[in-house]
Chain A
Amino acid sequence: MAAATRLSVRNIHKSFGAHEVLRGISLDAHDGDVISLLGASGSGKSTFLRCINLLETADQGEIVVDGERIEMTVRNGRNMPVSRKQIDRIRAELGMVFQSFNLWSHMTILDNAIEGPVHVLKRPRAECIAEAEALLEKVGIAEKRHAYPAHLSGGQQQRAAIARALAMKPKVMLFDEPTSALDPELVGEVLRVMRSLAEEGMTMLVVTHEMSFARNVSNRVIFMRSGEIDSDGAPEELFGKGGSPAFRQFIGTFGS
């Protein structure tokens, strides 16, 4: 039996002014898929990720999260969601990890992690704390739970941000260049956490420049170029012989 479709995106278009950043992107993510989105900067991969949880609103296209279609309408010539409530609910089901962590600076790591479960999902606080502590343990920063983000290294902050996203029990995790703002020696600790998540069967979409992650952890690689999907396939296939000339050239710049 085929795994359930967690995320289905159809024909996403997005322009910033006259510049067309996304020119019809479609993608299905099934349960347990780990999809790496590769591409040069400006190819639209981050914008695509941000369109999925509506941090950017696509001009056109359809997004279905775990079977629920996001209702869109055109108002004043602009495409926009019909219901803010639905967007909030969908966002709560999509965990987002940002390039620059975006932890709430005035809260401790533990408070960051329980904020969503307590105040958005309205679950009992004690339960949320127990779960968040387990998650912080899992990403290896349990001993920092009462520290503030500014007191942590970048790698620790990013792992805290992953724990914060996981605390919402998301159906799909979106990673927007999670290691790009990190010093090279801190990249590994974040990738290890992501790898163990992948092994547990979390459905993940990862915008990344980490070729080793794309190659060894993800089960599917999508290479974007000028707002379109250039290549799409299993990593063995793409990194083997299947990639387009543009993809070969792209991975060539990483010296791998």
Chain B
Amino acid sequence: MDFPFLFQTMKTLLAALPMTLALFSLSVLFGGLLALLIVWMRVGGNPVLSRFARGYIFIFRGSPLLIQMFLVFYGLGQFGFIRHSFVWPALREPFVCAVLSLALCTAGYTAEIFRFGLRAVQPREIEAARAIGMSGFLLVRRIIAPIAFRHALPAYSTEIVMMVKSTALASLVTVWEVTGVAQRLIAQTYRTMEVFLCAAIIYLVLNFLILQAMALIEHRLSPHRRAAVSLVPGGLPVSR
């Protein structure tokens, strides 16, 4: 085994890790915000907005992310009004296109995950909040969202891990993140196995850390679902 080569490869690939992390964190951030908007449209009660949200979710969940990314990267520039608008300097950047399409796509999935979380909120807990005089944003912020988020968290962790892996597609629109750099190395060295192995290890370690963090958050947010052995002597543990 050629350790110096592996070491050198790892070093080169790790130099591209900040780019992968930037793609990941920006798209999760913007995708999450967009998902909130879409889920609000979806369940808000306005039939037009709800239909729009359904259509959005269908399109972005139903078509390949790679095609969405190509459409954003190669497609948008074909429209004159976009090419001549103030957003063009940003949209001609491969990085912006990649973040945009990743965010648009994850927003569709995340909106559905949040919606299932909302459906798990017990109406009687909402009613109890109304009965003490809560309504509107206060009710959402204090009662509905915290409960819904706890229910959504396991599915949301999966989506986040998927997003880490989806950033690899950005290499196909010329963003030099880990996978893109790996392919460039392979083109130079023809050593497919070692290079991709190193890349895979980077993604695995990254996802391991993210999953640990998510599990920690989940644990911190769900003491009410764990057994309270010390509190209920002889009682049955209340487990998940």
Residues in A lying within 8 Å of B, measured CB to CB = 53, 55, 84, 87-92, 94, 96, 98, 100, 102-107, 115-116, 119-120, 144, 147-151, 161, 164-165, 168
Contact = CB atoms under 8 A, between A and B. Distances in A.
B223 interface: yes
B138 interface: yes
B238 to A, nearest CB: 5
B132 A168 contact: yes
Contacts of B125: 102-105
13 contacts: A53-B131, A55-B127, A84-B136, A89-B133, A92-B133, A96-B132, A102-B125, A104-B143, A106-B146, A107-B224, A119-B138, A147-B228, A165-B132
A91 B130 contact: yes
B238 A150 contact: yes
Closest 10 interchain pairs by CB? A92-B133, A148-B224, A102-B128, A151-B228, A116-B132, A96-B131, A88-B133, A91-B133, A102-B124, A120-B133
Contacts of B146: 106
A154 B40 CA distance: 35
A113 to B, nearest CB: 11
B143 A84 contact: no
Contacts of B228: 147-148, 151
A167 B127 CA distance: 17
Nearest to A117: B132
Contacts of A84: 135-136
A147 B231 CA distance: 7
B119 interface: no
Nearest to B136: A84
Interface residues of B, number: 29
Given A90-B133, A98-B131, A106-B147, 12 more contacts: A88-B135, A91-B130, A91-B132, A91-B133, A100-B124, A106-B224, A116-B134, A120-B132, A144-B231, A151-B228, A161-B128, A168-B132
Interface in B148-176: 150
B51 interface: no
B224 A103 contact: no
Contacts of A105: 122, 125, 147, 224
A144 B225 CA distance: 16
B150 A115 contact: no
A55 B239 CA distance: 33
Max chain B Cβ within 10 angstroms of own Cβ: one of A87, A115, A144:
A115
B232 interface: yes
B142 A119 contact: yes
Interface in B222-240: 222-225, 228, 231-232, 235, 238
A165 B131 CA distance: 9
Given A91-B130, A106-B150, A116-B133, A150 B231 contact: no
Contacts of B127: 55, 98, 102
A88 B138 CA distance: 11
Contacts of A96: 128, 131-132
Contact of B138 (A90, A120, A144): A120
Contacts of A144: 231
B186 interface: no
Max chain B Cβ within 10 angstroms of own Cβ: one of A96, A104, A161:
A104
B134 A88 contact: yes
A32 B190 CA distance: 88
